[in-house]
Structure 1
Amino acid sequence: MERGADMAGRRSAGKLMATAAALTLPLWLGCCAPNPNPSAGSSVAPGATTIEHSDRAHPPLVPIPQPQAPPPVTAAPAETTGPSDASPPEPSGHASGGTPGTPEQSSGTTPSSGTASPGVGAAPGSTTPMGASPSPAPEPSAPPPPQPAPGQSGGSQTVTVYYVLLEDGGAGGVRFGCNDSLAGDRRTVAGSTEPLANAMRALLDSAAEPAPGLYNSLSGSTLTFLSGTFDGTAVTVYLSGSIRPAGVCDIPRIEAQLTQTAVASVGAIRAEVYVNGVRLADALRLK
């Protein structure tokens, strides 16, 4: 009997323990499980973002930046012009039944609002007062008249021809030949602007007398200037006619007068003179 009572007591105690475990187990599991609302049992730092339980399972979507369209093009300011060609002309007083006596406005005239049409050559957006005419374009000025070369006046030219100072010994010029001197004499000639031709013709002019004290060894010769060339260093002169020296000392005098006058006219270094196609030295040797 005691044994049966002991067994019944153990069974009652086991049922009580099972009942207690069934009641306390959910409470114990609820305490150990994570709190669904952190703000209920924990403190959040100021400014921190709280994420709900549903946000942990599904993180927020971050928008992907999309390409933006280019900014719209700003239209240039329209020029101030008169009435548009596309706008219909204003009706006259007779056609629209307006006030009699109102003058008709023809298309293309400036409206009475005070806006003036831009003048010729006006910058975009600028206006020209009514009644003001555009300034005329400057006319091209005529080129200045050609200036005469040094030593040359209008229609004439000054050249230097050379004559002889007899037995001067180099006192009045360059000494040469029979103890003579070569001196220059300035002449003003008209006509051609070629200095070589003017100088040679002035020297060979038989009617022209040299300055007092100068001797012309070519006075007895009849020579004519044909042509001449200058290459920057040497000048070449072509003559025609006959040479008549007055004596032996006239041979170097004729040669000096011709060559020095040709050299000085163009600034050459040396001169070659031909008479009837023969060199001057050979033509003088035949005399």
Structure 2
Amino acid sequence: MAGKRRWDSCGRAAMAAAGCLALLLTACSAPLPRPEGQSPAPAGSTGPSAAPLAFLPATIAGTESGRGAPAASPAPGSGTEATAPPVRAYFVLMDDGGRHGVRFGCNDSLVGAALAGGAGDDRLKAAVNAILGGGQQPENLYNALGSSRLRFLSGSFDGTTVTVYLAGTLNPGGTCDLPRIEAQLTQTALEAVGAVKAAIYINGETLADYLKLK
């Protein structure tokens, strides 16, 4: 009898294990629930479907459309380089009385002229050199610095004040040329870098002190 009881308990255990295995196999073979709105896979297809494109890294699609890859720099001399914006140098329209510019000095007008410039610090140098005789003077405008022999040494900008260092000789053509020289140098330097104040030195002296000696 003991042997029969052992066989019955083992038989029941084996049958229970077989039933659990059948349930597991049935569950594994059941189709997975589809997300709402997704159509069933085509007949005859096997294995999992490919991941939706939305799950792919954005840089992959970007490189194909040109959005993900950095833009190539234009080759030097190709004619596609960015053109530097012009600089504005200031000249004098004598006895104009402010009709075509800012009135100052001996009833003159201070008039800006757009000229070819550079980028960064070169813009300040290009603008100042334009009134030091380094560029072509616009017609009908007077340059009070035209007969001087000044050269641009250096310049800097701290976010508020532009500083310019010049060297050489200044040869004003008369009393009225003194305010013209000051206005031309100051306004040209201010606008070249967008400063609110200008400090200009000639041979180590401030422009105001240097003009007092003339």
Please give the root-mean-square deviation of Cα atoms over the aligned residues, in Å.
3.2
Cα distance in 1 between the residues matched to 2:72 and 2:166: 38
User: Is 2:205 the counterpart of 1:278?
Assistant: yes
Counterpart of 1:224, as a letter, is R
1:251 partner letter: L
Matches of 2:174 and 2:71 in 1, distance apart?
56
Distance 1:208 1:282 in 2: 27
Which protein is bigger by CA-based radius of gyration? 1
**Contact kept in structure 1, 2:156 and 2:163, CA below 8 Å:** yes
Aligned residue number for residue 172 of structure 1: 100
* Partners of 1:182 and 1:221 in 2: CA distance: 19
Q: Greater helix percent: which structure? A: 2
C-alpha distance after superposition, 1:84-136 (max 9, x if no partner): xxxxxxxxxxxxxxxxxxxxxxxxxxxxxx977xxxxxxxxx267xxxxxxxx
Counterpart of 1:167, as a letter, is: D
Structure 1 segments unaligned to the other structure (5+ residues) = 1-73, 78-113, 117-125, 129-136, 147-152
- Aligned pairs, number: 156
Could you tell me how far apart the structure 2 residues matched to 1:157 and 1:241 are? Answer: 29
1:249 counterpart = 2:188: no
Query: What's the counterpart of residue 82 of structure 2?
Result: 154
Residues 155-179 of structure 1, C-alpha deviation per residue, up to 9 Å, x if partnerless? Answer: 5430110000111111111111111
Task: Give TM-score, length-normalised by structure 2.
Answer: 0.62
CA offset at residue 233 of structure 1?
Answer: 2.2
Partner residue, 1:208: 135
| Deviation per residue, 1:239-274 (Å, 9 max, x gap) | 122111111111111111000001111222221101
1:187 matched to which residue of 2?
Answer: 115
Q: Which residue of 2 aligns with 1:236?
A: 163
The 2-side partners of 1:158 and 1:219 are apart by 21
Q: Residue 184 of structure 1: CA displacement?
A: 0.6
| Equivalence for 1:267 | 194
Distance, in Å, in 2 between the alignment partners of 1:180 and 1:259 is 16
- Aligned to 1:143, the other structure's residue is in SS state coil
Percent identity (aligned): 48
Task: Find the aligned partners of 1:183 and 1:222 in 2 and give their Cα distance.
Answer: 22
For normalisation by structure 1, the TM-score amounts to: 0.47
Structure 1 match to 2:70: 142
Q: Which whole-Å deviations, capped at 9, do the CAs of 1:191-233 have from their partners, x for residues lacking one? A: 54432222112222x2533222110000111112222222222
SS of structure 2 residue aligned to 1:161: strand
Write the distance in 2 (CA, Å) between the matches of 1:207 and 1:197: 10
3-state SS in 2 of match to 1:251: helix
CA 192–264 in structure 1, closer or farther in 2 if over 3 Å, else same:
closer
Q: Is the 8 A contact 1:185 1:210 kept in 2?
A: no
The letter of the residue matching 1:243 is L
SS at match of 2:162: strand
Flag the structure with more relative contact order, 1 or 2, with Cα contacts below 8 A and sequence separation at least 6.
2
Residue identity opposite 1:282 in structure 2? D
Task: Specify the alignment match of 1:80 in structure 2.
Answer: none
